[in-house]
Amino acid sequence: MLYERLEASANDEERMHIKFDIATFFLNTNEQRTLEYAEEVNELAERLDSNLGRCYYHSTLGRVQYRKSSFDDAAKSFQRALELSLLTDDLLTQAICYDSLVVVFGPQNRYDLALDNSQKALTIYNQLTGQAAQWQKATCYNNIGIAQKNLHELDEAEESYLKGLAIANESENERIGYIIINNLAQLKIAQEKYAEGMAYATTALEGFRKLNHKVGETYAMVHLAHCQLGVGDYAVALQSYIGTAKVLKDIDNKPVEIQLYKGMGNVYLKLEAYNEALHNYKKALAVALAIADVRDLCEVYLCIGKAYLGIYDIVASHDALNKGLEIATREGFKHLLPDFEDALATQKV
């Protein structure tokens, strides 16, 4: 449909918008095609002297950088897109640009700033009517829920997710609906309500597969595996992690890669296969260090400390736990502090 519209159009401004839609369409399936169309959008934007088109270009570039876990680069691209959007009178695009910054602030552990930008976006969405605004409003509530979840405000996060899901269902936006359902699965894991999480993850996985949303599929698969581990189905969980690894061969999704290795390590830790657990935890650590994901880095150090304790390497355990504790203290991960303190206390017994 988009290609047919592009072929039929002789208007450069209209073609610029269509090319942006095509670039967005390929975002989760074909990075090269996304970048090719982004460049074509940029060429048209310069020819037309269009700040909106320039905004589309930087926004698309930021999304690709975000998918590659280049968070600092993505933040710069999204900030430039926001600045360009504010030179236009397109309120919807302005709100979307605020939301884009929200998404990248998460991995940078800047959740207060994420919530601030979400509220700016939500204020704009509430001024708008139409299906596109409703779809984006659902996304905004999803982003608010993510920030609240990572601030460990779990009840508030669930409320935000459910608001977003209700809007997504009403506006028949399956994609954002499945994304929110998947985030609800992650929330249930944090609440240790694994049976509920499994139901959400299964629904999300089926939806992502139907939509051929490979990135979403890997998130849902790893969440499902975490839930299976949580209810004690270790063999089933291990097979689910292995299945996730197979899908990850075709896409670059480092946050899921960290969760995959950490999850496999957790299975082996439960089975008291400590050396195999350490092998997987160290893989997770390498990826977390590579993308500077401080939250996952902190949690992986906790896992490594426990695994070393299992093989009675107290020195290595103490080193890992103290590294994680330093991050948790510095970054304000208050809910993790008792876990580190308990693990360190165990070393002294």
246 pLDDT above the threshold of 80: yes
Q: Judge contact between 229 and 267, C-beta under 8 A.
A: yes
pLDDT, residue 348, reads 61
Could you tell me the pTM of the whole model? 0.84
Domains in the chain, ordered, with CATH?
Answer: 1-89 (1.25.40), 254-349 (1.25.40.10)
pLDDT in tens, 32-68: 999 998 999 999 999 999 999 999 999 999 999 998 8
At position 274, the amino acid (one-letter code) is Y
29 pLDDT above the threshold of 80: no
pLDDT in tens, 197-222: 999 999 999 999 999 999 999 999 99
At position 156, the amino acid (one-letter code) is E
Q: Cα 129 to the chain's mean position, in Å?
A: 28
Token pair for 342: 């308990």
> How many angstroms separate the CA atoms of 190 and 197, rounded?
9
pLDDT in tens, 310-342: 999 999 999 999 999 999 999 989 989 999 999
The candidate with the shortest Cα–Cα distance to 67, out of 31, 32, 36, is 31
CA distances from 158 to 149, 222, 333 (A): 8, 20, 19
Q: Is 149 helix (H, G, I), strand (E, B) or coil?
A: helix
**Which residues make Cβ contacts (< 8 Å) with residue 219, sequence separation at least 6?**
182, 186, 204, 253, 256
pLDDT in tens, 125-146: 999 988 889 989 999 999 999 9
Beta strand residue intervals within 95-254, DSSP E:
none
272 pLDDT above the threshold of 80: yes
Render 240-258 in DSSP notation, one character per residue.
HHHHHHHHHTTS--HHHHH
Tell me what the pLDDT averaged over the chain comes to.
Answer: 93
How large is the average pLDDT for residues 135-161?
94
Token pair for 271: 């089975």
At position 319, the amino acid (one-letter code) is D
